[in-house]
Chain A
Amino acid sequence: MRIDSVELFDRLASAMNADTGRYELLGDIDLDLAVVMHRPDGDAFRVLLGFRGIECETVVSIEAGAEVAAECWVEGDVAHWQEMFDDIARHGHATGAWTLNTLTIMGDKIQLKAADPMGWDKFHRFNQTLQDFVDAAANVLDEEASNVSA
């Protein structure tokens, strides 16, 4: 499965929405977060994720520039996103320099951006939930690999 696809984020949303026990423990989240992945050809994949309560209610592809309307967005080259998801797939969750917070605080591979500092802070208010959300890719990508090999 390509990581620069709505399909992946749909699967991550489904994983979150099915795992109520985990996300209830982490608590409610209320955030519109965009993900931007720049492709080598100059194009970019953009998706808006709408988190409400303990669910990811919205996964929708957005136009160039529309990420600015989200409360915050995370942006980087698709190759770096791939490295992050590879680390998640390899270890079952992001490790070391590949967590969302570490990536965005270093800022050399993936940047956190927001039109409003309050949106920027929201990324941190819900950080553990967001980390668990992307960490679920370990299972999604593992299933995909199993399907491909089968």
Chain B
Amino acid sequence: MAISEEILADYPNLPEVSPIGVELDWAWLAGHESEWGVHPKPSARGLTLMDIAVGSYAEVPEHPKHRSMAARGADIADDTPDMGYILNKKSDVWSSNVSELYEEAVARQWSATRDIPWNQLEELSPDLEHAMCQLCTTLSEIEMIASDLPAKWMWRMNHEFLEAKMFLCTQIMDEARHSEVFRKRALANGGGLLKSRGGSETLLRTIIEAKTYTQATALLHLLGEGMILDLFRQGEAIAPTDVEKRIFRMCMQDEARHVAYGTMHIRHSVENDPDVAEEIHEALDHGEAAMLALGTAPDMSTALAMLLAGGADKIEEVGFPLQMQLGKNQLTSYLARCERAGVGRLERTTLPLAELGIEIEELRRGVGA
């Protein structure tokens, strides 16, 4: 190792040995051959990932040469160690909107402690308080899967797909906050945590045990979070007070980002490898059955029906019919997203479309399939 003539020409006084006797080459002073001198321009909202995606730094390789934690675009030594990543194709994890979603997530973080007007909680009738607490108990349980699942896969993702990993970090934080806020709501108004039974665990296990990341993300982002997004929409609509409205609205925003990542990731994945579509379909075949079991599980569905009815007296006249309508919305949105993701399910789904009054032909026209 020696200091190159090029560096010495510019910096003739550099020492060749450190105070403890280590030989020095100062190679980094030569800069990166291809991109030194690039000046990304901040946009109106600051210096975003999109702003720094310039020149070769904007290029995300389909098949990265290295499997190390080295920063993409750096001058990486040939002998950099292999970290054992197994998701080494861009199509394994990427989505076209991932940088924008990361910036959006960072900009739209919120605090379950500070940003919910907890002091405006109102005393509810016992039936409504129980129903809200039951809903929050279930949501606090199932939300954490969307933290656990990316955590299970992230350390296996090639580090050159940094933006995707960064976005998933925001999702992990989002879902931790959701578990937090629903736990807080269950406790905050004099109620507490209520029933937890096996139905929800079946779905969670199906998701966490998915064999591939793409199957996992189809189950989590497209199916699970898509359905929960609509559940949050319902939650906002049936919230007894402004406090719950705010909770559901803030969670809904986060959830919609996760769904946006999943939809476009699956699209990217299928476009790059059409064979993946069948793998996704197989996962969704199982996932839809598990989701249906969760959606019809007695605890959550009855709690929702009671909230929709505004109390225990009109569940059959008001609660159940509204629940059917909202279920129809949920499945329609999910199937439209599947079409957008390139894994149309209209011919394959076993979800009870007819029972919910969903006309397959109408749906087909609606999604342009």
Contacts and interface: CB of A to CB of B under 8 A. Distances in A.
Interface of A: 25-28, 30, 52-54, 93, 95, 97, 99, 101-102, 105-107, 116-118, 120-122, 124-128, 131
Interface of B: 44-45, 97, 100, 103-104, 107-109, 115, 229, 233-234, 236-237, 242, 245-246, 249-250, 252-253, 255-257, 259-260, 263-264, 326, 329, 333, 336-337, 339-340, 367
A81 to B, nearest CB: 18
Nearest to A125: B256
Contact of B249 (A52, A97, A107, A127): A127
Contact of B104 (A28, A120, A128): A28
A26 B108 contact: yes
Contact of B333 (A25, A54, A117): A117
Contacts of A116: 340
Contacts of B246: 128
Contact of B109 (A27, A102, A122): A27
Q: Secondary structure of the B side of the interface?
A: helix
Contacts of A30: 100, 104
Given A28-B104, A101-B237, A117-B333, A125 B44 contact: no
Residue from B236, B326, B329 with most neighbouring chain A CB atoms (10 Å): B236
| 8 cross-chain pairs, A with B, having the tightest CB-CB distances, nearest first | A27-B108, A27-B107, A124-B256, A102-B237, A28-B107, A125-B256, A117-B336, A53-B45
A41 to B, nearest CB: 29
Contacts of A131: 249
Nearest to B255: A124
Contact of B242 (A52, A95, A102): A95
Nearest to B246: A128
22 contacts: A27-B107, A27-B109, A28-B45, A52-B44, A53-B45, A95-B242, A97-B237, A105-B326, A105-B329, A117-B263, A117-B340, A117-B367, A118-B97, A120-B336, A121-B256, A121-B259, A121-B260, A121-B263, A121-B337, A125-B256, A125-B260, A128-B249
Given A125-B257, A128-B253, A118 B263 contact: yes
Given A125-B256, A131-B249, A28 B236 contact: no
Contacts of A27: 104, 107-109
Contact of A102 (B236, B256, B340): B236
Given A27-B109, A52-B44, A116-B340, A124 B252 contact: yes
Nearest to B100: A30
Q: Secondary structure of the A side of the interface?
A: helix
A101 B249 contact: yes
A37 B242 CA distance: 27
Residue from B115, B249, B259, B336 with most neighbouring chain A CB atoms (10 Å): B249
A28 B336 CA distance: 27
Contact of A126 (B109, B253, B337, B339): B253
Contacts of A101: 233, 236-237, 249, 252
Contacts of B256: 121-122, 124-125, 127
Nearest to B338: A117
A27 B264 CA distance: 22
Contacts of B100: 30
A106 B109 CA distance: 28
A124 B104 contact: no
A53 B44 contact: yes
A28 B108 contact: yes
Contacts of A105: 233-234, 236-237, 326, 329
Contacts of A99: 236-237, 245, 249
A72 B82 CA distance: 45
B263 A28 contact: no
Contacts of B103: 28
A99 B233 CA distance: 11
A117 B45 CA distance: 26
A108 to B, nearest CB: 10
A127 B253 contact: yes
Nearest to B336: A117
A32 to B, nearest CB: 14
B260 A118 contact: yes
B168 to A, nearest CB: 17
Given A99-B237, A117-B340, 14 more contacts: A27-B104, A27-B109, A54-B45, A97-B237, A101-B236, A102-B236, A105-B236, A117-B337, A118-B260, A118-B263, A120-B333, A126-B253, A127-B252, A127-B253
Nearest to A93: B242
Contacts of B108: 26-28, 125
A107 to B, nearest CB: 8
